[in-house]
Amino acid sequence: MGRALKIQKTNNSILTDAGYPNFGSLTNPVVNSADTLSAADYLGVVGGIFTTSTPTTTNPEIYCLVNISLADGTSTYDIANQYGGRIIRQKGSHKFLVAYTYASTADEDMIVGQAYQIAALGTTNWQACGAPNGAAVGDIFTVRAIGSGTGTAYPVGQCVLSNTATPASGYMSIAYSVGDSSAVYASYITNKWVRDWNGMTYQNYSNSNLGTNVQSNENFYPTNFFTDEGNVTWSGAEVISSAQAQNGTLQLAQIASVTS
């Protein structure tokens, strides 16, 4: 499926993966009913790993909780008892290739047979470890020998979305809020939409099987990084005298993000 939750390429004014055009660049934009979105904000979200993209407070990227299963039988939670991670690319409707970015791994502590993404080149001979010639920050490779330099890397693996703040090995979570709610976790997410777990199941749902979305009565919301207040008019909704029709609005969801 390619890189997950990505949108725009670099042009004269928008950085790669920076996000949708902000409201200030649009003609007569319709913002949220609570009027908490500014001209610098936008609807929609993007994913990204900071070794290949640069989030900022103006253009955040999705933050996820990950617990990657490692080649030695442990998981990334065992590294620092934390779940912080970032999306690299999408593998299925609810399955992603992710990096554990809460803590980097020294080259001598890498696990043979495990995939990593280079975080810092240092003095490490990355080619000897299994990386391609001309290895650079952001490259992903499977370790065939541990290193002995000063370089570091992030463990990489596939994880499946789960409905918890403490995902088990092989699983991950993406949090969001709706109307000042406590954290809710996504069962499905795109650039524009997020769905909850109300009635959501997956056929053959497991870390080793992509499964099929079985959607019933789950709730869905338009996404953004900036506010969970108010509604927005959805595409095709009836607008009467410049006012949003009652049946044409949806509550905004604010997705958990990183800014640096």
pLDDT, tens digit (0-9, with 9 covering 90-100), for 202-226: 555 454 444 555 555 678 899 999 9
Whether residues 120 and 172 share a domain: the answer is no
In this structure, of 78-82, 115-119, 198-202, 220-224, the range with the lowest mean pLDDT score is 198-202
Whether residues 57 and 166 share a domain: the answer is yes
Whether residues 165 and 216 share a domain: the answer is yes
Examine residue 155 and state whether it is found in any structural domain, yes or no.
yes
Residue 184 in contact with residue 215, Cβ under 8 Å?
Answer: no
Q: Would you call 78 helix, strand, or coil by DSSP?
A: helix
Q: Which residue has the higher pLDDT, 72 or 246?
A: 72
Examine residue 254 and state whether it is found in any structural domain, yes or no.
yes
Whether residues 53 and 129 share a domain: the answer is no
- φ/ψ region of 226 (left if φ > 0, alpha if ψ in -120 to 50, else beta) reads alpha
Q: Rounded distance, CA 139 to CA 159, Å? A: 19
Q: What is the mean pLDDT of residues 80-92?
A: 91
Examine residue 91 and state whether it is found in any structural domain, yes or no.
no
Examine residue 219 and state whether it is found in any structural domain, yes or no.
yes
Whether residues 58 and 76 share a domain: the answer is no
In the chain, the number of structural domains is 2
Q: β-strand 84-90 against 95-100: which pairing, if any?
A: antiparallel
Examine residue 2 and state whether it is found in any structural domain, yes or no.
no
- How confident is the model at residue 244, as a pLDDT? 47
In this structure, of 37-41, 49-53, 144-148, 242-246, the range with the lowest mean pLDDT score is 242-246
Whether residues 73 and 47 share a domain: the answer is no
Examine residue 216 and state whether it is found in any structural domain, yes or no.
yes
- How confident is the model at residue 208, as a pLDDT? 47
* Residue 115, φ and ψ in degrees, nearest 5: -85, 140
pLDDT for 241 beyond 90: no
pLDDT for 143 beyond 90: yes
Q: β-strand 152-161 against 171-173: which pairing, if any?
A: parallel
Q: Calculate the average pLDDT of the chain.
A: 84
Q: Rounded distance, CA 4 to CA 213, Å? A: 17
Angstrom distances, CA of residue 213 to CA of 44, 136, 158, 167, 218:
22, 37, 18, 20, 11
pTM above 0.75, yes or no: yes
Q: β-strand 105-106 against 152-161: which pairing, if any?
A: antiparallel
The residue segments making up the domain with residue 192 are 23-63+161-258
